[in-house]
Amino acid sequence: MHAMTAPRLGYVVRFVGSLDAAVDFYERVLGQRLTRRGGHWAQFDCGSITLGLYEHAAMVRVLGVADGELGVPPGAQEIAFEVDDVDAAHAACVAAGARSFKPPEDRLWGERTGYLLDPDGALVELYTRIQREPASATEAADEGADQGEQARRDEMATPSSVSHQHGDPSD
- C-alpha 130/C-alpha 141 separation (Å) is 17
- Residue 54 shares a structural domain with residue 14: yes
Using pLDDT thresholds of 50, 70 and 90, give the confidence band for residue 163.
very low
Tell me the mean pLDDT in the region 130-158: 58
Residue 3 falls within a domain, yes or no? no
Instruction: Please choose, from the candidates 44, 21, 22, the residue with its C-alpha nearest in 3D space to the C-alpha of residue 32.
Output: 44
Q: Which helix (H) or strand (E) holds 55?
A: strand 50-55
Residue 170 falls within a domain, yes or no? no
- C-alpha 127/C-alpha 140 separation (Å) is 21
How much of the chain, in percent, has pLDDT values that exceed 90?
53
- Residue 135 shares a structural domain with residue 97: yes
- Residue 20 shares a structural domain with residue 86: no
- Residue 42 shares a structural domain with residue 61: yes
- C-alpha 97/C-alpha 119 separation (Å) is 10
- Whether 102 contacts 126, CB under 8 Å: no
Using pLDDT thresholds of 50, 70 and 90, give the confidence band for residue 4.
confident
pLDDT, residue 119, reads: 92
- Residue 57 shares a structural domain with residue 110: no
Instruction: State the residue range of the domain holding 131.
Output: 75-157
Read off the DSSP letter of residue 166. Answer: T
CATH number, position 42: 3.10.180.10
Residue 143 falls within a domain, yes or no? yes
- Whether 85 contacts 128, CB under 8 Å: yes
- Residue 102 shares a structural domain with residue 50: no
- Residue 63 shares a structural domain with residue 132: no
**Is residue 124 over pLDDT 90?**
yes
Q: pLDDT tens, 54-85?
A: 998 998 898 888 887 777 665 567 899 999 99
Tell me the mean pLDDT in the region 10-36: 95
Give the count of domains, the chain. Answer: 2
Average pLDDT, the chain: 81
pLDDT, residue 134, reads: 55
- Residue 97 shares a structural domain with residue 144: yes
Tell me the mean pLDDT in the region 137-154: 57
Residue 33 falls within a domain, yes or no? yes
Q: In DSSP terms, which residues pair with 53 in a beta bridge?
A: 14, 42
pLDDT, residue 156, reads: 47
